[in-house]
Amino acid sequence: MTDDQRWQAVAANDRRFDGVFFYGVTSTGVFCRPSCPSRPPRRDRVQFFPSAGEAMAAGFRPCKRCRPDLAAFTPGRDIAGEAMGLLHRHFRDMAALTAGLDGLGLSRRRLTELFRQAYGTTPGACLTALRLSEACRLLRLTDLSVAHVAGEAGFESLSAFYRAFRRELGCSPGTYRTKEMSP
């Protein structure tokens, strides 16, 4: 690979070249992966290295954004995983869920992007699926009223519960319970 090809990969933030080479920026003393989201440096201030070790040996320190010193650094996937854990733990408690998601330090839009990349769905859709799963379990295993099941599953209103239930399962909660109880 030529230096011009390497530079094109850096300018394009091309993830395919992560681990193939690293680049150091002489003005900052930092080295990065080709996919680093930081602002691209001037071409005349860049040196290329075949490994992170060689970049460090040349006196460069690892970038704090792309962490080229770590073999597997996937902050987006890690944050999406934390969000998924929060959804599973707090799907019944909207206040705790909101506080936990706010604690991740991302905007809702950015969190949704990362979550969709990692899981192929949105946090809202996942939350609804978790709540519906719990509602179905409660409808099958208890004789709680439909309104009580909605509250226990984390739905904030009965109308939202009915809408989600009909949209996802194609029937009302009462019909679902009757179907599940019949032999």
* Catalytic residue selected from 32, 126, 136, 171: 32
126 is catalytic: no
Range 125-152 average pLDDT: 95
pLDDT in tens, 34-68: 988 888 899 999 999 999 999 999 999 999 888 88
Residue range(s) occupied by CATH 1.10.10.60 in the chain: 125-181
Q: CATH 3.40.10.10 region(s) of the chain? A: 3-62
Distance CA 67, CA 64 (A): 5
The answer to whether residue 71 scores a pLDDT higher than 70 is no
Which structure tokens are listed for 71? 């073999």
Compute the distance between CA of residue 70 and CA of residue 68 in angstroms, rounded to an integer: 5
The residue with tokens 């094109």 is 8
The residue annotated as part of the active site, out of 63, 126, 136, 171, is 63
Q: Give the class (CATH, top level) of 3-62.
A: alpha beta
pLDDT tier at 13 (50, 70, 90 boundaries)?
confident
pTM for this model (two decimals): 0.62
CATH of the structural domain 125-181, one choice from 1.10.10.60, 3.30.2320.80, 1.10.357.10, 3.30.420.40: 1.10.10.60
Categorize the per-residue pLDDT at 183 as very low, low, confident or very high, splitting at 50, 70 and 90. low
Please confirm, yes or no, whether 32 is among the known catalytic residues: yes
